[in-house]
Structure 1
Amino acid sequence: MSKENSSISKDVAFGFLPASKGDRIFNLRDLILVQVVIGLSSFGLLTGGYTGNMLDAKHSLAAILFGNAFPMLLIVPITLYFARYGIDTFVGFRSSLGYIGSNIFFFIFLILTLGYISIALFMSGQALAEAANWVGTPAFLSSQTTGAPFFSILLFICAFMVTVGGPVAIQKYTAIAVPAFFVLMFGILAIVIFGKGFTNVADLVPSEPFETSSRSFATALELNIGLGFSWLPYLGQYSRLSKTEGGAFKAGFYSYGIIVCIAALVGALAALVAGSLNPSDWMFSIAGSWGGFIGLILLSVGNVGAAIFLMYSQAVSFKTVFPKKSWMVAMGTTVPTVFLLLSSTFYDAFGSFIAVISFIMAVIGGIVVSDYFFVKRQHISLRDLYDTQGSYTYWKGVNPSSILTVIIGTIVYWVLYNPMTFESSNLFLYTAAGIPTYFVALVTYYCSSKYIFRYEVDMGRSSIQLKEAK
């Protein structure tokens, strides 16, 4: 970055004002580095691990590539919206959800983000506890029962301190975290492929497949689709700081649609080789004694980077909803994560967690893309986005078309697939659930906005233009 663009105004970095040209500090490389740290962390690894537990290497590769890339192709165009206006996710979503509707979605996002932070940090805690065991520390630190929570909470404090510094501090940390994770990823890949032999790895049988291969593939595919859709609410916080719209679009797809597949593929192959979902088990099983120890440290560094990314996303969005609150109060909303770090209960439920995210983000993704590109045709009033009595009030602050779409999208998803019990319909085996739900949401929202709940703002004109027309 050039010196003149190395700083960002506090009202933008720690608040909700639109980013001006001088505040756009991220070029394509910067934005990829900041965004990819979350994808190359625990979420990609765990999703890949679950995939490798159900599928062989060839089918794992197919589920990972399609499951991550295609959902991103469907939602990444919305980055153009955030980059064009320099706005945060929950300011931008007001045009489709309404002012209150966007706030409601924020609280859902807050709960999901707390879960994400806890997963990243608990995986790091497990890794450090395993490393402590290898070093020979006292039982309190080396035990997964006590050591993992202890290290997880300690890393939470470290991540919190970095995030308080805002985008510039985050950018400096990711310059370390991303290379560390790349070394880990390619190191494991090299050991697995060249050490074990590609043919041998390809012949490995998954340890926990379903009763039929089609059921295993559809379930693994849905987990990866869930990971692909899960990036939706995080696209705004950093795309608004992109120097160009094209850079925001490319960085979003390269980060979440392509590079994240590396982590997922590594997770799948490691799970196949080690026969375990625990990344701590992978390291020593694959890389040996010293290699495993180094791998655990690199894993922790990368996951802390993911936690930092998530903390900033949550805090800056909190400032969007409650602009008068201080940055430290906004950061304080991440503190409940500590309760999820006290045991492995939530961490062990990752499969259900990511599937629930899939249905929520598939529905919201269909709504916001439909609204911006097809209903309003990219005609948005920046003034009305910030005027809570403006055009996007709809019905008492909530857009009825969004409510109808959420209801229908939820029914469609749960008819196809139950993310809590993993039970599914026969159609799920051929279509999965997240992608059909996205398209149902997109079409439902468009038809509702145009033919059922018809608001003048959906003609693509702001409240000022409407008043002038009258």
Structure 2
Amino acid sequence: MADQTKEFRAAAERGDAPLLPSERLWGFWEFTYANSALAIATWAFLIGGAVGLFVGPKEGIAAIVIGNIIGVVLTALATCIPAGKYGAEQFVVLRSQFGTNGSRLVYFLAVVFLTMGWLAVLAMMFGRSIDGMAAMVSGGDASPTGIKMVIAALGAICLTWFIVARGPTSIKVFNMIVSPALVGLMVVMLFLILRQQSFSDLLAMPAIDPPFEDRHLNFIIAVEVNMAAGFSWWPYIGNLARLTKNERTAFWPNIIGIFGAAVLGEIVGLFGAVALANSDPTIWMTIVGGVGVGVIALGFVAFANITSMANILYSSVVGLRQVGTDGIRRIRWEIILALFCVIPVILVLVYPGMYDGFFIFLVWTSALNSALAGIGIADYFFLRRQKLDLAALYSPPAKSVFRFVGGFNPIGLFALAVGFIVYVWVFNPQTLANAAAFKYLTASIPSCLAAGLVHFVLTKAFAAAKGWGAYPRR
């Protein structure tokens, strides 16, 4: 009996079985700290700098708060509530919405591509920080897309692989050191910026490079960038929430942790960008801090990126082993990590300009994540009324009621496609072309609503009659 209990607990920790309430680790404050440690990351500087391209600090702060709160709340409702209630792994729950094979497809779309893009962007930020440090020490000029940046970026990917290959313990050690220190760096940078510019002068500053004369349109784009930042947590926070004691503990710490910490970092990035007229934190930090502080700040930012990269690589590959085939599970941990890093290496080598336009990549991800959030809310709260069949979720695919059609739920996948199309029709992240509705609705909200509504209506009309997905008939 003891051996069976030990085996079940190990399976639960791997995500192969739901965690029982007694096995869950986090109360309210533990989950808040875990979320804060994840959200206080160097990408917040990048996102804040991107906001400064469109609006000044006064409007930028509003855009950061509005966009993040909407994105984080909708994402947490779709992912954290069911995970916190049932202790189930996020992509296992997704089987109830997209089918056993459909959940794998969604994983590859939402996690693999997103993670590979972030790994490349953060590696380039590491490389630029190292290049900037070398330039400051030698007195030469920095070369943000030069060979030193590329070599350092490739080194960052290799170091990340080495850390994650050693397992979660090494990642935890890095988190405990880097997260509090990054808060300290934010405070120091904010102090240095305010020492050069008064708060009132900062608020009055214009945007760096607004693309449109219409200030309202520029503001809505800034809001959309931040909604994309909020929705970008969709692939990750559900799996964290399964470790919480209950649904309330799974939901509310996201508001303090993910939202609060991300907003703090973005505002510092926004102030630095507009005050120094450059959205790249690896550049404005060297200007505001001088040689001594600049070298220290860039060195810390460089290695803080490694922590962020390790977190997202680890969580993504753990998820891959859950949704993957038996063949994928048999691949050695070190090898599957290395394979996951191939695309980021290619991006660093052939597309270093991705860094400067990274907000385009970020907003593209919202075209998918906002639709996924809408489908998750419609399915769990309105169609299933917050009730899931755990036995069916974990049953063999061939026998599961969530098999739908060949393991795919055509309704869920169609709703996802509709949400994506609506998003791109309302707002094209690549060209910034937009429909008239964008100025009043953003693009993420119509995408979320359209995907959720299509999923709800078609499920009500067809799924119950065909016996798909064990939906309640009333």
Same fold (TM over 0.5): yes
Q: Supply the AA of the counterpart residue of 2:163.
A: V
- Partner in structure 2 of residue 18 of structure 1: 18
Worse-superposed segment, 42-51 or 94-103: 42-51
In 1, are the aligned partners of 2:161 and 2:338 still within 8 Å (CA)?
no
Alignment of 1:328-367 (within 5 A): 328-336=334-342, 337-342=344-349, 343-367=351-375
How far residue 357 of structure 1 moved from its aligned partner, in angstroms, is: 0.6
Worse-superposed segment, 345-354 or 22-31: 22-31
C-alpha distance in structure 1 between counterparts of 2:272 and 2:140, whole Å: 29
- Partner in structure 2 of residue 253 of structure 1: 255
| 1:63-82 deviation per Cα after TM superposition (whole angstroms, max 9, x unaligned) | 00000011211121231211
Distance 1:436 1:59, change over 3 A: same
- Partner in structure 1 of residue 454 of structure 2: 444
Q: Supply the AA of the counterpart residue of 2:104.
A: N
- Partner in structure 2 of residue 402 of structure 1: 412
In 2, are the aligned partners of 1:11 and 1:17 still within 8 Å (CA)?
yes
Worse-superposed segment, 272-281 or 326-335: 326-335
- Partner in structure 2 of residue 4 of structure 1: none
Alignment of 1:71-86 (within 5 A): 71-77=71-77, 78-86=79-87
- Partner in structure 2 of residue 391 of structure 1: 401
Q: Supply the AA of the counterpart residue of 1:201.
A: L
C-alpha distance in structure 2 between counterparts of 1:262 and 1:60, whole Å: 12
Distance 1:327 1:447, change over 3 A: same
- Partner in structure 2 of residue 373 of structure 1: 381
In 2, are the aligned partners of 1:37 and 1:305 still within 8 Å (CA)?
no
C-alpha distance in structure 1 between counterparts of 2:431 and 2:177, whole Å: 39
Q: Supply the AA of the counterpart residue of 2:40.
A: L
C-alpha distance in structure 2 between counterparts of 1:287 and 1:164, whole Å: 35
SS at match of 2:301: helix
Worse-superposed segment, 20-29 or 75-84: 20-29
Q: Which runs of 5+ in 1 are unaligned?
A: 1-7
C-alpha distance in structure 2 between counterparts of 1:29 and 1:38, whole Å: 14
| Correspondent of 1:290 among 283, 292, 296 | 292
In 2, are the aligned partners of 1:450 and 1:458 still within 8 Å (CA)?
no
Q: Which runs of 5+ in 2 are unaligned?
A: 1-7
C-alpha distance in structure 1 between counterparts of 2:418 and 2:159, whole Å: 42
Q: Supply the AA of the counterpart residue of 2:345.
A: V
In 2, are the aligned partners of 1:192 and 1:270 still within 8 Å (CA)?
yes
- Partner in structure 2 of residue 3 of structure 1: none
Alignment of 1:219-368 (within 5 A): 219-322=221-324, 324-325=329-330, 326-336=332-342, 337-342=344-349, 343-368=351-376
C-alpha distance in structure 2 between counterparts of 1:174 and 1:32, whole Å: 14
In 2, are the aligned partners of 1:40 and 1:260 still within 8 Å (CA)?
yes
How far residue 405 of structure 1 moved from its aligned partner, in angstroms, is: 1.0
SS at match of 2:151: helix
- Partner in structure 2 of residue 52 of structure 1: 52
- Partner in structure 2 of residue 92 of structure 1: 93
Alignment of 1:182-193 (within 5 A): 182-193=183-194
In 2, are the aligned partners of 1:400 and 1:453 still within 8 Å (CA)?
no
Worse-superposed segment, 420-429 or 40-49: 40-49
How far residue 440 of structure 1 moved from its aligned partner, in angstroms, is: 1.9
- Partner in structure 2 of residue 432 of structure 1: 442
Q: Supply the AA of the counterpart residue of 2:340.
A: T
In 2, are the aligned partners of 1:40 and 1:302 still within 8 Å (CA)?
no
| Correspondent of 1:211 among 213, 228, 233 | 213
Residues 1:157 and 2:165 are matched in the alignment: no
Worse-superposed segment, 413-422 or 244-253: 244-253
User: What CA RMSD, in Å, does the superposition of the two structures yield over aligned residues?
Assistant: 2.5
The number of residue pairs the alignment matches comes to 454
- Partner in structure 2 of residue 382 of structure 1: 390
SS at match of 2:340: coil
Q: Supply the AA of the counterpart residue of 2:455.
A: Y
SS at match of 2:74: helix
Q: Supply the AA of the counterpart residue of 1:65.
A: V
In 2, are the aligned partners of 1:34 and 1:171 still within 8 Å (CA)?
no
In 2, are the aligned partners of 1:225 and 1:435 still within 8 Å (CA)?
no
Q: Supply the AA of the counterpart residue of 2:454.
A: T
C-alpha distance in structure 1 between counterparts of 2:307 and 2:28, whole Å: 19
C-alpha distance in structure 2 between counterparts of 1:368 and 1:263, whole Å: 29
SS at match of 1:271: helix
- Partner in structure 2 of residue 420 of structure 1: 430
C-alpha distance in structure 1 between counterparts of 2:319 and 2:348, whole Å: 23
Distance 1:351 1:155, change over 3 A: same
C-alpha distance in structure 2 between counterparts of 1:192 and 1:414, whole Å: 37
- Partner in structure 2 of residue 67 of structure 1: 67
SS at match of 1:87: coil
Q: Supply the AA of the counterpart residue of 1:94.
A: R
| Correspondent of 1:124 among 123, 126, 132 | 126
How far residue 289 of structure 1 moved from its aligned partner, in angstroms, is: 2.0
